[in-house]
Amino acid sequence: MNKEELKKIWAEKFKQVPGILENIKQVRSAATAFNTNIDAVLKLSGADLEKLIAAEKLSLHDLLDVKQTKLLAPSDVVKGIFKCFKSGIAEEWLTEDKKVYDWMVKNLGYNRLQMGGQGGIVANALAVAGVQKVIAHTNSLPKLQAEQFLKLNNLVSYDEKGMEKPACEIDRQTDIPLIHWIIEFDKGDSVNVNGEKFVCPKSNRFIATYDPLNLHLVVDENFIRALKKDKAEYIVLSGFHALTEQNDGVKLQDDILPVIKDWKAQGSLIHLEIASTQDIAVRKALIKKIAPLADSIGINEREAIDILEVIGEEKLAEVCNAQTTSVNMFKALLKIKNHIKAPRIQLHMFGLYITLEDKGFRITPEANLHGMMLAATVAAGKAGTGNINKVENLLWACGREVSDTGLQELSDLADFIGDEKLVETGIASYDGFGVIALPTIIIEKPLTLVGMGDTISSLSLLAAR
């Protein structure tokens, strides 16, 4: 079957998406935790990057000399941007040095402010999609942060007295704004360093974070008490990637374990979004202690490789890093699934989503496929319009074709699994697991990529009903 025939098959499937969106309105409640912050978004050109490199007097040798993925000096900010720009990858590096923060304020600036942090981004996405009640965890909620929440009555948080209110109306005046820089760059742009030209192979972003509260997993007790009193149907977890061993990141995970276990005992479906966790000790603890408690896990290709590196699969990590194909990433998913043993793991990579789940899991493969189709459409809508703050943007990409890249990756995966029907149905079995794979809609010049993975994971899960 040729690509045009396959595109027609998938176009028919994607016609179900508007109806699938209606499924989300059946969700009674969802909570998002733990990280919410403000993103300062900056579009950076190759020429802009050259100016930063020159201002910091960095040679090509300096830029390639990355000894740590932390922002200990302004030069590290430039190194991080250059690394991600030249490779077309996404990473987040952290700092607690106010001098570095002040340098970023002075030398980077921003084009706009928007909601940041997986918890905040997912809360907005789920609320606009129609979840009946979304409870957002906020360890800091001054007016500037509240302004990043959508003005929706179904999106709530807690004021300084523990009163539940629409999140957009709260102003905890003694709280401090938590601001992250999202530095975006475009595919095809180039930067010249010491006479050598580097062309960006893929639109992506570098995140520079200064966030003392989320770096220490400060928790709002009002949120904990509220969920203990009235359980949420779904809880979407993230924010652990901001922890460091130096800041007791492993102990902080230990401290939150009883809370997560209580939520699980109450019957909430726990989803863990594993972001780019740079601290090795924290990453190991996350995979060993928190990930096995999750019913569902979401990762991208970079995060999958990071996990391989801490579960004794360094060789496969090198293979995946060299060739980030669907087959290699599927092999990675199998290793991760067997190690963590979470019932459901979803990978979102360029052009393709893959979900591995236990047979008999509460969400059927067919329902998973439906959720993934909605997520693919909404993600394309977010990329194409710049945000999903309005209901009409959710289905902006309806009717667009799935990508050639996605179909090729799906075909390669079908060959590996030994089930040619996967290319047409998106559903197969392998090694005792259910396999759901979906070619996605690619927007060639996305207006934003911020929070894309979080949006994909959360909507995939909650729309799978």
CA distance 202 to 190: 11
Asked if residue 263 and residue 183 are part of one domain, the reply reads: no
From residue 126, alpha-carbon distances to 108, 121, 261, 354, 370 in Å are 31, 9, 24, 21, 16
Query: pLDDT-derived band of residue 98, with 50, 70 and 90 as boundaries?
Result: confident
Q: What is the mean pLDDT of residues 283-308?
A: 97
Query: pLDDT-derived band of residue 296, with 50, 70 and 90 as boundaries?
Result: very high
Q: In total, how many domains does the chain have?
A: 2
The reply to whether omega before 14 is within 30° of 0 (cis) is no
pLDDT tens digits for range 239-272: 999 898 988 999 999 999 999 999 999 999 999 9
Q: Comparing C-alpha atoms, which of 182, 224, 203, 155 is closest to residue 37?
A: 182
Q: What is the pLDDT of residue 79?
A: 97
The helix/strand/coil state of 88 is coil
Asked if residue 164 and residue 78 are part of one domain, the reply reads: no
Asked if residue 48 and residue 145 are part of one domain, the reply reads: no
pLDDT tens digits for range 112-152: 899 999 999 999 999 999 999 999 999 999 999 999 999 99
| CATH number, domain with residue 92 | 3.30.1110.20
Q: What is the pLDDT of residue 290?
A: 97
Helices (H), 185-300: 221-229, 249-266, 280-285
Report whether 355 contacts 367 (CB < 8 A): no
DSSP 64: H
Asked if residue 302 and residue 194 are part of one domain, the reply reads: no
Asked if residue 402 and residue 382 are part of one domain, the reply reads: yes
CA distance 410 to 88: 22
Asked if residue 58 and residue 161 are part of one domain, the reply reads: no
Asked if residue 258 and residue 156 are part of one domain, the reply reads: yes
Q: What is the pLDDT of residue 276?
A: 87
Residue type, 452: M
Which one of 164, 188, 210 terminates a domain?
A: 210
CA distance 434 to 141: 41
Asked if residue 220 and residue 202 are part of one domain, the reply reads: no
Asked if residue 202 and residue 241 are part of one domain, the reply reads: no
Residue 177: burial class (beta carbons within 10 Å; 0-12, 13-18, 19+): middle
Asked if residue 436 and residue 407 are part of one domain, the reply reads: yes
Q: What is the pLDDT of residue 95?
A: 85
Higher local confidence (pLDDT), 14 or 144: 14
Q: What is the mean pLDDT of residues 264-284?
A: 95
Q: What is the pLDDT of residue 78?
A: 97
Q: What is the pLDDT of residue 77?
A: 97
Other Cβ atoms closer than 10 A to 461: 26
Asked if residue 368 and residue 305 are part of one domain, the reply reads: yes
CA distance 119 to 431: 34
Q: What is the span of the domain harbouring residue 204?
A: 39-114+176-210
Task: Say yes or no to pLDDT of 465 above 90.
Answer: no
Q: What is the mean pLDDT of residues 334-341?
A: 98
pLDDT tens digits for range 176-234: 888 899 999 999 999 999 999 999 999 999 999 888 899 899 999 999 999 999 999 99
Q: Comparing C-alpha atoms, which of 179, 187, 188 is closest to residue 207?
A: 179
SS3 of 100-157: the string is: HHHHHHHHCCCCEEEEECHHHHHHHHHHHHCCCCEEECCCCCCHHHHCCCCCCCCEEE
From residue 329, alpha-carbon distances to 18, 216, 288, 336, 425 in Å are 30, 32, 21, 10, 20
Asked if residue 186 and residue 234 are part of one domain, the reply reads: no
